[in-house]
Amino acid sequence: MKNNGQKPRTAGNMSWGLLFVLCGAIFLEGIDVSMMGVALPSIRAELGMSTGSLQWVVSAYVLGYGGFMLLGGRAADLFGRRRMFLTWLTVFLVFSGLGGLSTEGWMLIVARFVTGISAAFMTPAGLSIITTSFAEGPARNKALLVYAGTAVAGFSLGLVVGGILSEFSWRWVFYGPVLLAFLILLAALRLIPVSGRPESSRQGFDLAGALSVTAAMLLLVYGVVEASNLGWNWTIGVLACSAVLLGIFVMIERRSASPLVRLGIFASSSLVRANLGAMLFAGSFFGFQFVTVLYLQELRGWSSLETGLALLAVGVDSVLAPTLTPKLVNRFGNIPVIFGGFCLAAAAYALFLPIGLDWTYAAMFPTMILTGIAFSLTYGPLTIAATDGISEEEQGLASGLLNTSFQFGAALGLAVVTAVNIAATGLDKSPQALLDGYRIAMIVPIAATILGISITALGLRRRASAQYVNH
């Protein structure tokens, strides 16, 4: 592995304060996203937003995040990870505050779009700081599993905190992250070491590649998010334009002396499987969460706080990821642990299929706790697999690819579940029709996890073949 003349830090001499700061940033991102989802009804009531415009409060963030992620990942490699992290954490802080000050719906949507862009640059920079600060092996694996557990803990806690803050004012859903971001920024200035100019920064910047892939990703995410509103003709047209731009991007990268994305990185089968797995896992979970929130709030009449508390059991990942998962990874390896996580996720979602009009929380709890365990077995090891064996100068790129897969998977899962739910329910809004629609929509997360099981099984087969050859 290339290192620009610097040895990776080991667990014995590195500052765990650095990991604490970066975990704080991913916790900030997780809590910001989940609090927003809980606060939407309050936002609509005060700003008078329609259902279509309200969707864009969420979609604008996903569009900015997913559209600029690859560019953000490569920018960390080219211009310095610390610089990118601090710069875009500051942008995140400023525009989160502006979102809380919004008096019109369009102002809030613009603020969320820029906040998403800032996360697209900040997140891969933070992740690549971890992967280049810890030596590859047990030390890095433990750090990544702690990082992944913190991300899920932020998301889970945000569901509850968002419900509480929304009781006072939805604006505190924005002001809270501002305070947290400011504290993280102060700690980051002190604890993230200043590094020399990256060797890769001496190369030229692939502007044509950056423009083409960013436009392609923006159109791709837009087409997926807005599929139910655009109609088939427009959706196909948008996705076709995205495919053309991706084709142009590939042509540019093949000829570029300093490509934004070195296409040879996809020769790593572990990276490809990890990204496909991340896409399917994120799509299955966000699809499941969407169905669950609709079922509990629209059909059962639960409050946003009660719904957040019901989903809190998923946060068991924050305990298991840094404690149990490292032991399992050390004992069995990444791929078997990921395979087990997908199997548990499939079982969890299947257990939710028989939901009824009067289900108790005790009946739902097995699904919630199994989903949390599945997260602990899948999210962190996927992060390890996606960055394992990648040279230091491309760690930002690998991190950007992984986060792009998570974001695109989440958007795709939500879009497909929404379309299936709408098609199944039709114009009938009776309780039984709504329930039937939720049950049919739950088939989507189950199908996604089964695909994930199949892809991971290929990795198990390759691993078994390699062991057989070695013996």
pLDDT the model gives residue 4? 42
| pLDDT tens track for 326-341 | 889 888 888 999 999 9
> Which residue did the predictor score with more confidence, 201 or 443?
443
Among residues of the chain, what percentage have pLDDT more than 70? 92
Closest CA to 165 of 345, 355, 34: 34
The answer, as to whether pTM is greater than 0.85, is: no
Lowest-confidence segment of 20-24, 229-233, 430-434 by average pLDDT: 229-233
How many helices (H) and strands (E) the chain has is answered by: 17, 0
pLDDT the model gives residue 16? 74
* Residue 129 burial class via C-beta count within 10 angstroms: exposed 0-12, middle 13-18, buried 19 and up: buried
DSSP state string for 117-161: HHHHHHHHHHHHHHHHHB-TTHHHHHHHHHHHHHHHHHHHHHHHH
Q: How far is CA 215 from the centre of its chain?
A: 20
How many residues does the structure list for the chain?
471
| pLDDT tens track for 160-203 | 788 788 878 889 999 999 999 999 999 999 888 876 555 555 55
Q: Taking residues 275-284, what's their average pLDDT? A: 93
Q: Taking residues 444-462, what's their average pLDDT? A: 90
CA distance linking residue 303 with residue 184, whole number of Å: 32
- DSSP tag of 297: I
> Which residue did the predictor score with more confidence, 458 or 469?
458
pLDDT the model gives residue 224? 76
> Which residue did the predictor score with more confidence, 419 or 97?
97
Whether the per-residue pLDDT at 88 is higher than 90: the answer is yes
With H, G, I as helix, E, B as strand and everything else as coil, classify residue 9: strand
Using only C-alpha atoms, the chain has a radius of gyration, in whole angstroms, of 21
pLDDT interval class at 12 (50, 70, 90): very low
DSSP state string for 305-368: HHHHHHHGGGGGHHHHHHHHHHHHHHHH-HHHHHHHHHHHHHHHHHHTTT--TT--HHHHHHHH
pLDDT the model gives residue 154? 84
| pLDDT tens track for 390-441 | 887 777 778 778 888 887 888 788 778 888 888 888 777 888 998 999 999 9
pLDDT interval class at 466 (50, 70, 90): low
Alpha-helical runs (H) found in 135-268: 138-168, 172-191, 207-225, 227-230, 232-255
Most confident of 216-225, 341-350, 368-377: 341-350
Contact 309, 160 (CB under 8 A): yes
pLDDT the model gives residue 74? 79
pLDDT the model gives residue 281? 94
pLDDT interval class at 10 (50, 70, 90): very low
